[in-house]
Structures are given as structure tokens and as C-alpha cells.
């Protein structure tokens, strides 16, 4: 029983953590959400993977924007 409810809580935590990834990358998270985000991502391989994926896309997009603006030398 305990493990079933733990999994359920964990999944919900995963959902809110993944939803917070863009905010984290833009440094828009409040200190409380930030701590919760980092604590969870430290312990959850699935969310680390999701975080790395989103971060790579965000970086690629940022580099493309910089190149389009002609600010990359």
C-alpha cells in the first residue's frame, strides 16, 4: 500500500517537475519551486533525461536566434 501511494505521489511530482523545466531554464522559478525542482531532479533519472532533452532544444534554439541576429562571431 505504501509503495503504491509513493509511486502515485512521485508521478505527480514528475509531472510538475517536467512542467517547470522551461521556467527553470528561463530562471523564472520562485525559490520554493526551484528547490523542489532541484531536489526531485536529483533523485529521478526520468526527469533528468527530460531536463537534458529540453535544455538541448532550448540551447539549439538560442544559438539559432543568435546566428540569425548576426551576433555570433
Cβ neighbors of 14 (< 8 A, separation 6 or more) are: 40, 44, 46, 47
46/61 with CB nearer Zn ion: 46
Only one of the segments 19-27, 28-36, 46-54, 63-71 lies at the binding site for Zn ion (rule: CB under 5 A); that segment is 46-54
Q: Does 54 bind Zn ion (CB under 5 A)?
A: no
Single out the residue of 25, 44, 48, 58 in contact with Zn ion (rule: CB under 5 A). Answer: 44
Centroid of chain to Cα 68 = 26
Tell me the closest approach of the beta carbon of residue 66 to Zn ion, in angstroms: 31
Give the residues lining the site for Zn ion (CB under 5 A): 14, 44, 47
Amino acid at each position: 500500500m505504501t509503495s503504491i501511494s509513493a509511486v502515485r505521489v512521485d508521478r505527480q511530482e514528475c509531472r510538475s517537475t517536467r512542467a517547470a523545466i522551461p521556467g527553470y531554464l528561463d530562471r523564472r522559478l520562485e525559490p520554493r519551486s526551484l528547490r523542489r525542482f532541484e531536489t526531485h531532479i536529483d533523485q529521478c533519472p526520468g526527469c533528468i533525461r527530460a531536463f537534458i532533452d529540453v535544455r538541448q532544444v532550448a540551447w539549439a534554439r538560442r544559438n539559432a536566434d543568435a546566428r540569425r541576429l548576426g551576433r555570433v562571431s
